[in-house]
Amino acid sequence: MTDQSYQPTLSQLRAFVAVATYRHFGTAAARLEVSQPTLSQGLAALENGLGVQLIERSTRRVLVTPAGARLLPYAEMVLDAADGFVDAAAGVSDGLSGPLRVGLIPTVAPYVLPEILPALDAAMPTLSLQVVEDQTARLLDALRAGTLDVAVLALPADVPGVIEVPLYDEDFVLVLPTGHELAGRTDLSVSALDDAQLLLLDEGHCLRDQTLDLCRSVDARPALGDTRATSLSTAVRCVAGRLGITLVPASAVAVETARGDLEVAHFADPAPGRRIGLVFRSSSPRGVDYRILAETIRGCVPSVCRPVP
């Protein structure tokens, strides 16, 4: 039975939320930048104080108990409120300032940060950005665990408890080796990918999934070889080496084809593409500030992108 006088600490609640999010004590400890024994002690103290088992532990897996699942949203709201309290004390209520932890997916970060960072510095000079580049699933885990404040990624995220604010749309462009028969075309249909030697990013990249979904939508069956890249730059270099062709977001084309040994082809309207947005926890008390942040980002995206009103 719960001791009604018991008051959990924020560190205990953070331990619970992190373990529930990552389902792994080592990962949760690393994300919170504490030792694993400290994390375990904090969680155990919380469970003992509440008189409730929140996490089921075994040598092979970590599970959230039914009681833990019921209490998890309350823990998240308490942590968001505490963070909001500290931010307000630092003057965040008058606008975004102080530290802000922003996550971006790898197919966005290198291409939009050169535009975004100067604009944010000019509009919010007291803001201290901390940038994390990672794949979508890990960014969303970090967001839910509270180790990120916002993330910029492809929509829809389709994650409960997360608010999505659209930023911009961009087309996919086909990058080809010099002299390719499709080079220079502006009227391609997606069916042009049928039987093509299509290079994909490695598992976990949303661009890989978007490309495969695009092919399935028109029943195109590209010839997928064993070559896979962990970055867009590597995939493009493989195209230059005539190992295949690849789809690249419009915002990345200028950077990735700057060496001049590649050509491009564009799809006919309506061209396939993706929507990029800013996401944050629905429980966050800084939702208004994050929407202002989204508006600032939306106003300085590369010209090849179409801001979403």
CATH number at residue 68: 1.10.10.10
Q: Are residues 159 and 179 in the same domain?
A: no
pLDDT tens, 71-99? 988 898 888 888 777 766 665 445 677 88
CA-atom Rg of the chain in angstroms: 22
Domain assignment of residue 55, yes or no: yes
Domain end position, chosen among 41, 68, 90 = 90
For residue 222, what are the domain limits?
A: 170-273
Residue 146 is predicted with a pLDDT of: 85
Indicate the number of domains in the chain.
3
Q: How many CB atoms lie within 10 A of CB 137?
A: 12
In terms of Cα–Cα distance, which of 236, 209, 210, 212 is closest to 110? 236
pTM: 0.76
- Among 74, 90, 106, which residue terminates a domain? 90
Dihedral, CA of residue 217, residue 134, residue 126 and residue 164, to nearest 10: 30
Decide if 44 is inside a domain.
Answer: yes
Both 175 and 269 in one domain: the answer is yes
Strand blocks (E) in the chain: 55-57, 62-64, 98-104, 127-133, 150-155, 162-177, 200-201, 228-229, 246-249, 262-265, 273-281, 306-307
pLDDT tens digits, residue range 208-243? 888 888 888 878 788 777 777 889 999 999 999 999
pLDDT, tens digit, 9 for 90 and up, residues 117-150: 999 999 888 888 899 999 999 999 999 888 899 9
